[in-house]
Amino acid sequence: MGVACSHRPAKSMRLAVPAIDPAALAGWDPHAAVMEFDGATMGTRWRARFAAPAQLDLPRLTRAIDAMLGEIVAEMSHWAPDSLISRFNRAPAGRWLALPPDFATVMAAALDVAAKSDGAFDPAIGALVDLWGYGPVSRPQPPDAAAIDVAAAQGGCRQLRFDPHARRLQRLGEVQLDLSGIAKGYAVDRLSAVLAAHDVRHSLVEIGGEYVGRGLRPDGDPWWVELETPGALAAPIRVALHQHAVATSGDYVRGRHTIDPRTGRPVAHALAVSVVHASAMLADAWATALGVAEPDEMMALAEAHSLMVRALLRRRDGVSEWISPALAALVAG
């Protein structure tokens, strides 16, 4: 999650400014009109703010966005009983499922982050999510320890077989997919790509608090996004999102709903973990993984993979802030 800003940052604000990619300047028009529109998707809202090219066909662009988001929901929403992911979760063990390109892209990235994070992120956590009542069906009481252990033992991406070249996926047991920790980020990337395909090269797009910025505003400023900072626990940080994305995982809005796939239980230490990345899909997945990992493990993972991270972590003596070296190198003030 993040807070978009439409004005210049205050001097007291900490700023993170990645190096400007020359691609951010292509087609920049200081006289372009800034437009903003939005819609509903994935149980939340999508928003786009952009410098409009002179010949923009807005109805055509809106139809393309709606079609793209509809396809992602139809493939990857475990809240929709007729979605592809829901059908996969009901299929007999051992059956191969052919994957559309979007699903295969997300699956490959999810399994890669799962491997690199030593299982702190896992796309096959659906049974645990449902057991805790964080999925489509709510639960009045938390599950007992025995049920948690059984679900954790039966699930996990070790129970999947993925063939990226043939774009097919197989479940080896009663494992259940849940792509909630990565699919929204992918949808933000695709939303930005749809705009670019309609010659909208300078934009800030969002779905449910995850952002992608491309190019510059007509006034020459980047698209500024403030990292989510609950209360006054740390000085705010605003990021210049030219050719970058940001995603945040935390429990300050919805409560402690992030499950550690390795233990089957929600984590309590991560108040908010923000990741800035070139890909919203990977920012989304890494924010989830780092929010699951214990603080020392989280810091080691972020440094090992050169990730730009700001974390607010609960300690015995209160909440502390940690900024990874990759992000600290960009922060001034």
> Which positions make up the binding site for Mg(2+)?
181, 284, 288
Q: Can you list the pairs that 166-171 forms with residues at least 24 positions away whose Cβ atoms lie under 8 Å?
A: 167/98, 167/99, 167/100, 167/101, 167/104, 168/96, 168/97, 168/98, 168/99, 169/88, 169/96, 169/97, 169/99, 169/107, 170/94, 170/95, 170/96, 170/97, 171/88, 171/89, 171/91, 171/93, 171/94, 171/95
Q: Which residue has the tokens 């709903």?
A: 257
Q: Determine the Cα–Cα distance for residues 78 and 291; give it in Å rounded to an integer.
A: 22
Q: Which residue has the tokens 């995982």?
A: 249
- Give whole-number Cα distances, 122 to 16, 33, 71, 73, in Å: 30, 42, 23, 20
Q: Which residue has the tokens 């252990």?
A: 149
3-class secondary-structure state, position 39? strand
List the one residue out of 203, 178, 182 whose CA is nearest residue 191.
Answer: 203
Phi then psi dihedrals of residue 269, to 5 deg: -95, -20
Q: Determine the Cα–Cα distance for residues 53 and 33; give it in Å rounded to an integer.
A: 8
| Alpha-helical runs (H) found in the chain | 58-76, 84-90, 101-116, 126-131, 145-154, 183-197, 280-292, 295-304, 325-328
Report the chain's terminal Cα–Cα distance, integer Å. 23
Binding annotation: 181, 284, 288
